[in-house]
Structure formats: structure tokens, C-alpha cells
């Protein structure tokens, strides 16, 4: 057994409170190394006959990567105090793994409390908690300037005719809030129940990430009352709305920055920014990337903190928004985000807090900052396999497993899963304009834990390369839309919402990762129900036989996509590029 590969970190995603009572515990070993792991656990104060009273239970191998196996168990200590260790076994030996590392299994190690990991008390207040509604949300991202023009009188003077050309960086086409209001029937019929808007506050650009005034709606989008109407109409339909907060930086035309430019070291706002010397020049202050018109805010400054917190609270109090998406969240200090969370959740406890982070995000997802991040590291392996054809099926599965194992389950349940956005190539373009591949990729992503997001236009086959081409005008003429794609997306969203509990809480079990034939099968299981997925990315048809999966004949099995009941001896041909979803109910 390779001892160096055994890993467990207490007070992390390896050992955490799931719900204030139940504790989730994970341990990692070298792939194929351990045959069995037993969790030894109990209350550190509970003794019987002079000996510590410990329980043992087997752990389940829950995931694998190219190099490691992950084992899982959950326990509910009666008095919420816990100490625990592991007995790891292979064909040749048993070892004790605890706070002192690898030790022999003997009376001393088993009965000496200093050899055990500790969770002194399982506090509900320390438990990662997220809004329950976020688990059942299908998001729809809107870039307001390009979604719909509802009021020509609001459009900029230089606005181009809607969809008259592919957009350049500085083009305007006149999208506005009225346009979104006008399309609410369309969005409700599509089935989405959460709307994420990129910034809508006053700004000179079409993207609005260079904010001038956080308290005013950009006049080309509308005004506060129009926004109030939008929020109320969404809430009447049972839909949520999330706004985009750009708190890492501000627009260079903002009054605060212009005061610094004018008055230099005498400006009352000089400490609001990271300025290295005066007078201000293009190369002597920190900014977003290398963009001079986006100077970086000093979020450690108490005045800046109060200013930004009041902005966040204003839109909650005045308009009852449901979430904040936080731009460039990884470049803002953790102390600010901890205080931000306390402020906004005190005002609205079920507010959803989403950070824009493109990499591993564990430090922000410990329960005291964000509820979720834009889950690019999770969905990128899917894209690399289905769209780019750069990795194998097994490599994709291993990367997905590793990502899930690095997080707490309740964080994974509300993660913001997306395949494209205003910052990436559009999905159809990334798939080489292969609609069949795009559909399979969407179906695969919708089958995963977390809240899926659709970028506007994906549902009608809108394509586009990187910014600015990913920000094309939405196509509203039905004859120019891909109506088959629209029907597909409606069915996919309906299925996701119908099976949301299973897809949120169900365990993921891989059945087949055939790299040679490019065939994948996995299932999601919860409360006796099962969804089984088959994806054929190979060149030959795949005959799926239900009897090969040893499914009890007492189960009712049907095609989850068509609702057709299937016989247990049925064989179904999954054609190249296609997928199949079977549903199996509990035995009757």
C-alpha cells in the first residue's frame, strides 16, 4: 500500500457538516490500492467500562480519477461531537490512518484519542448553507444590449438596426429592459426560472462593466420604475432575477475617479484606489487587466466598503432582487467578501451570491463568502471531450470526479453550471456548428449536479466566436430561428425540472467509459429511482440492451425523453452523436 497517497484534511471538503447534524467524511487513496476502508468514529467523551466507545462502518468508494480513489461515509453523531479515524485494508495489510498519520492497527492506536481526527462540535452556524430555491433553478443569461429592443426612444443615437451586422466592440443595437419585459412569455414558455442580467447600471459602454453610477439604470436601458416592473413581473411568474455587481473596479468616467484625476493627492477619493504615485498616469495605478478605463477599487478601505455595501443593499431593499453575481470576484480581498455576505444575507437571508471565478474556488466556498461560482472548471472537461475532441471519455469523467470531490456536496448542489457566456465562444461555434454535438453536450451538462445556465440565443441556434461575436443580437424572427433546437431545449428544461431532486441529490455512478468506441454510460440514483444516461460520441451505432444492466423486472423502465414504456428485453440503437435517457422507478 502506498502510504504517501493517502490523504484526508479535517475542517475542509474532506470533513464537514452537511446540514448541521450530518457529517460528510472523505478520504483519498492511490487508485486500486485499498480494498476496503472502515471509518472508526464516536463521541470523544463517551466511554464504557473504561474504554472509549467507538463505532465502525464501511466507507463507499464513491469516485475515481486517473490516479486516485475517493471513499465516502456520512455519520450523525448524537451529541454533535466527533472524533474519527480510518482503517485502510488491502490484501496484505491493515493500517490505521488518523491525526498522527499511518500507524499500525493495535490496541494503543484504537484507544488513544490523540491518534484521531476531531470535529469538536458540529455547529449549524458554521455549516455551508445556500438558498434552497437555487437548487431548482434553470438560469438564463441575458446581455441586455443585445436581447431585445422594446423602446426605440431609449436607444443611443448611434444605435444600428437590430441584427444588421455582426457586432464590433463598440457597437450599440438598442436592447433595453422593456425588451426583456416584452419577452417574458417567451422565457416562461422556454421553461427557465432564473434570469441573470449582465450589468444594467449607468455606463458609457455597451457591456456596462465600467460603471459610472451604481444607483441608476443606464438611460439606454430604462429607469428604476421600468426595472421595478421587470422584477415584479418576473416574481409574479415565480422567476428569480440576479444582477451583476462590478465591485472590483469602477469606470474611469465615474465622479470618484475623475476627482482623483483632477485633484491628485488632494482628492478625498485618492485612497479609494490603488495609486502608486501622483499625478495619475496610465501606468501608475492598478486596474482590471490592462484596461485604463477600469481603475481597481481599494476594497480594504472602510469608505469603499460602506459605499459598495450600501449599493448592494439598495437594490435588495428597493427592488427585491434575488441574487448578486460578483464580477472579477477572485481579485477582491476575502475580508471584503466575508463582510459583504453578512451584510446582504442579514437583509435577505435567501439571497444567492455568485462569484465570477474561472479556477478552483475552494477558499471562497467555505460557507462565509459565496454560495457558488461560475463553474467553468467543471464544465470545461465536458467541452474538451464533446466539442473539442481533445480528451478521452475517461479523462473527462476523472476530471469531473476530482472537481466534485474537491467541494462540499451542498456547494455542488447550487453551483452555476454553464457552457458559454458573454466571455466565451458560443456553444454552437465551439462545437464546430455541429448541432448534434451541441445537443449532446447540453444534455450531458443538464444531467449533472448544480444549476444549469443557458446563454441567450443558445436555444435557437445562435452562433458566435469570442467577444464581441458572442454578443450578437438575439434573433426573434421565427423563420430565422432553429425551431428544432428550441423544441429540444424546452424538452430538456422540462426533464431537468421534473427530475430536479434526483439530479440534485442523486449519487453519480459511472457504468461505462469506453475510450475506444467513445461511448459513455452513467446513472443518477436517489430514493430508489434511477436515471441512466447513454452518450454515443463514436462512429458506430450502440445497441443498448436493458438486460445487460441486471435491472429487476419489477421496475418500470421507460425512455425519459419520450415517456415511452420499454420492455426489459428491449434493445435500443443509440446512433453516433445521439444520447438515450432511461428512467427506472423503484420496484413495484
Which of helix, strand or coil describes residue 234? helix
The total number of residues written for the chain in this structure: 588
Quote the DSSP letter at residue 249: B
Q: Which backbone phi and psi does 250 adopt, to 5 degrees?
A: -135, 165
Extract the C-alpha cell encoding 6. Answer: 493517502
- In the residue annotation, 327 being an active-site residue is answered as yes
Quote the DSSP letter at residue 453: E
**Out of 327, 420, 459, 499, which one is annotated catalytic?**
327
74 class by beta-carbon count within 10 Å (0-12 exposed, 13-18 middle, 19+ buried): middle
Which of helix, strand or coil describes residue 455? strand
Specify whether the backbone of 356 is left (phi greater than 0), alpha (psi in -120 to 50) or beta.
beta
- In the residue annotation, 356 being an active-site residue is answered as yes
Residue 363's contacts (CB-CB under 8 Å, 6 or more residues apart) are 334
Instruction: Give the containing element (helix H, strand E) for 182.
Output: helix 177-182
**Out of 69, 218, 356, 420, which one is annotated catalytic?**
356
Judge contact between 31 and 10, C-beta under 8 A. no
Taking the C-alpha atoms of residue 370 and residue 325, their distance in angstroms, rounded to an integer, is 10
Judge contact between 156 and 172, C-beta under 8 A. yes
Q: Which backbone phi and psi does 265 adopt, to 5 degrees?
A: -65, -15
Taking the C-alpha atoms of residue 408 and residue 223, their distance in angstroms, rounded to an integer, is 40
Taking the C-alpha atoms of residue 316 and residue 587, their distance in angstroms, rounded to an integer, is 47
Torsion of CA 306, 307, 312, 315, to 10 degrees: 130
Which residue numbers are catalytic?
Answer: 327, 356
Amino acid at each position: 500500500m502506498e502510504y504517501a497517497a493517502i490523504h484526508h484534511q479535517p475542517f475542509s471538503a474532506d470533513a464537514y457538516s452537511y446540514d448541521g447534524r450530518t457529517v460528510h467524511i472523505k478520504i483519498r487513496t492511490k487508485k486500486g490500492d485499498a480494498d476496503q476502508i472502515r471509518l472508526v468514529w464516536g463521541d470523544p467523551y463517551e466511554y464504557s467500562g473504561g474504554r472509549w466507545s467507538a463505532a465502525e462502518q464501511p466507507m463507499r468508494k464513491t469516485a475515481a480519477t486517473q490516479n486516485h480513489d475517493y471513499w465516502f461515509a456520512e455519520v450523525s453523531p448524537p451529541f454533535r461531537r466527533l472524533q474519527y479515524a480510518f482503517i485502510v485494508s488491502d490484501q496484505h495489510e491493515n493500517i490505521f490512518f488518523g491525526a498522527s498519520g499511518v500507524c499500525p492497527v493495535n490496541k494503543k492506536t484504537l484507544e488513544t484519542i490523540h491518534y484521531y481526527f476531531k470535529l469538536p462540535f458540529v455547529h449549524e452556524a458554521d455549516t455551508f448553507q445556500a438558498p434552497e430555491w437555487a437548487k431548482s433553478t434553470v438560469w438564463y443569461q441575458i446581455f441586455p444590449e443585445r436581447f431585445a429592443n422594446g423602446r426605440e426612444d431609449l436607444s443611443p443615437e448611434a444605435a444600428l438596426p437590430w441584427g444588421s451586422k455582426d457586432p464590433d466592440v463598440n457597437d450599440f443595437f438598442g436592447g433595453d429592459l422593456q425588451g426583456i419585459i416584452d419577452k417574458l412569455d417567451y422565457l416562461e414558455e422556454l421553461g427557465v426560472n432564473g434570469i441573470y442580467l449582465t450589468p444594467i447600471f449607468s455606463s458609457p459602454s455597451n457591456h456596462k462593466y465600467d460603471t459610472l453610477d451604481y444607483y441608476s439604470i443606464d438611460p439606454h436601458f430604462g429607469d428604476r420604475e421600468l426595472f421595478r416592473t421587470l422584477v415584479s413581473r418576473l416574481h409574479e411568474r415565480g422567476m428569480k432575477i440576479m444582477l451583476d455587481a462590478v465591485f472590483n473596479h469602477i469606470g474611469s468616467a465615474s465622479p470618484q475617479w475623475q476627482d482623483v484625476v483632477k485633484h491628485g493627492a488632494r482628492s478625498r477619493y485618492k485612497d479609494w484606489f490603488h495609486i502608486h504615485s501622483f499625478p495619475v498616469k496610465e501606468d501608475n495605478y492598478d486596474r482590471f487587466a490592462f484596461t485604463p478605463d477600469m481603475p481597481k477599487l481599494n476594497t480594504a478601505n472602510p469608505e469603499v466598503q460602506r459605499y459598495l455595501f450600501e449599493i448592494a443593499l439598495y437594490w435588495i431593499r428597493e427592488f427585491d432582487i434575488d441574487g448578486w453575481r460578483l464580477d472579477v470576484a477572485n481579485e477582491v480581498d476575502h475580508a471584503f467578501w466575508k463582510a459583504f455576505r453578512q451584510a446582504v444575507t442579514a437583509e435577505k437571508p435567501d439571497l444567492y451570491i455568485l462569484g465570477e471565478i474561472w479556477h478552483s474556488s475552494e477558499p471562497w466556498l467555505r460557507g462565509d463568502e459565496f454560495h457558488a461560482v461560475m463553474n467553468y472548471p467543471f464544465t470545461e472537461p465536458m467541452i474538451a471531450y464533446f466539442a473539442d475532441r481533445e480528451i478521452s471519455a475517461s479523462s473527462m469523467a476523472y476530471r469531473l470526479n476530482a472537481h466534485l470531490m474537491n467541494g462540499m456536496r451542498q456547494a455542488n448542489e447550487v453551483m452555476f453550471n454553464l457552457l458559454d457566456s458573454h466571455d466565451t465562444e458560443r456553444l454552437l461555434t465551439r462545437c464546430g456548428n455541429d448541432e448534434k454535438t451541441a445537443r449532446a453536450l447540453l444534455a450531458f451538462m443538464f444531467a449533472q449536479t448544480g444549476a444549469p445556465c443557458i446563454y441567450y440565443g443558445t436555444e435557437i441556434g445562435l452562433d458566435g466566436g469570442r467577444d464581441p461575436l458572442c454578443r450578437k443580437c438575439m434573433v426573434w424572427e421565427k423563420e430565422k430561428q432553429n425551431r428544432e433546437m428550441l423544441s429540444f431545449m424546452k424538452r430538456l428544461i422540462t426533464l431537468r425540472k421534473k427530475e430536479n431532486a434526483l439530479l440534485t441529490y442523486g449519487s453519480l455512478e459511472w457504468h461505462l467509459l469506453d475510450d475506444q468506441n467513445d461511448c459513455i454510460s452513467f446513472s443518477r440514483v436517489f430514493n430508489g429511482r434511477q436515471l441512466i444516461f447513454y452518450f454515443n460520441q463514436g462512429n458506430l451505432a450502440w445497441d443498448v440492451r436493458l438486460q445487460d444492466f441486471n435491472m429487476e423486472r419489477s421496475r418500470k423502465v421507460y425512455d425519459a425523453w419520450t415517456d415511452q414504456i420499454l420492455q426489459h428485453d428491449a434493445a435500443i440503437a443509440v446512433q453516433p452523436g445521439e444520447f438515450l435517457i432511461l428512467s427506472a422507478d423503484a420496484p413495484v
